[in-house]
């Protein structure tokens, strides 16, 4: 009887060990990037490409690159398909203003991937933060009524004097 109990305990331990070894391991976070709307990677789904003009030179804006008063910002659309877009800008302590679309009202405009936006705001003098807010959606919307599926992206730039 004692031998049967010991054999059962050994078999149970071997069975438990087999479950631990045979179960699939979890993927590390780096191997499975965030999957955004409709299964697309959030890194490529939507966004704004930003470059700035300083004097006669036009350069892409890299993360951490400070901007200055007098710089002219240029925007291009990064998206997988046509989307509706609304862009707002806050320069330093100024109140946020809708810069795209330029037409009166707060309605978003349809844009296509790679399209350069027709607005090129010039930054005011002084230090502070420049915040560009881009709101993308698959349907027309206004800043007051975006809808739950709207994607909002904030680009924050340090402005030096």
The CATH code of the domain that includes 52 is 2.60.40
Residue 58 lies in a domain: yes
Structural domain that includes position 119: 42-160
The pLDDT score that the predictor gives to residue 74 is 94
Residue 155 lies in a domain: yes
Q: Yes or no: say if 69 and 75 are a contact pair by the CB < 8 Å rule.
A: no
Summarised one tens digit per residue, pLDDT across range 25-45 is: 555 544 444 444 444 444 456
pTM of the predicted protein model: 0.69
Total number of domains constituting the chain: 1
Residue 68 lies in a domain: yes
| C-alpha to C-alpha distance for 61 and 68, rounded to whole angstroms | 12
Give the three-state DSSP class for 102. coil
The pLDDT score that the predictor gives to residue 13 is 86
- Give just the sign of the alpha carbon dihedral 113, 119, 120, 126: negative
Residue 154 lies in a domain: yes
Residue 135 bridge partners (DSSP):
86, 152
Residue 18 lies in a domain: no
Residue 92 lies in a domain: yes
Choice among 21-35, 47-61, 83-97 with the minimum mean pLDDT: 21-35
| C-alpha to C-alpha distance for 64 and 94, rounded to whole angstroms | 22
The pLDDT score that the predictor gives to residue 134 is 92
Residue 20 lies in a domain: no
Residue 30 lies in a domain: no
């Amino acid at each position: 009887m004692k031998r049967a109990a010991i054999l059962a305990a050994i078999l149970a331990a071997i069975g438990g060990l087999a479950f631990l070894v045979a179960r699939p391991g979890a993927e590390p976070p780096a191997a499975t990037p965030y999957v955004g709307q409709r299964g697309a990677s959030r890194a490529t789904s939507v966004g704004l490409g930003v470059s700035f003009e300083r004097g006669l030179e036009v350069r892409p804006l890299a993360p951490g690159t400070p901007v200055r008063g007098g710089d002219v910002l240029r925007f291009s659309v990064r998206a997988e398909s046509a989307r509706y877009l609304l862009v707002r800008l806050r320069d330093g302590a100024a109140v946020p203003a809708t810069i795209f679309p330029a037409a009166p009202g707060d309605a978003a405009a349809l844009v296509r991937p790679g399209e350069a936006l027709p607005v090129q705001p010039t930054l005011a003098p002084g230090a502070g933060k420049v915040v560009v807010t881009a709101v993308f959606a698959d349907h027309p919307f206004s800043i007051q009524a975006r809808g739950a599926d709207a994607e909002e992206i904030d680009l924050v730039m340090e402005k030096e004097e």
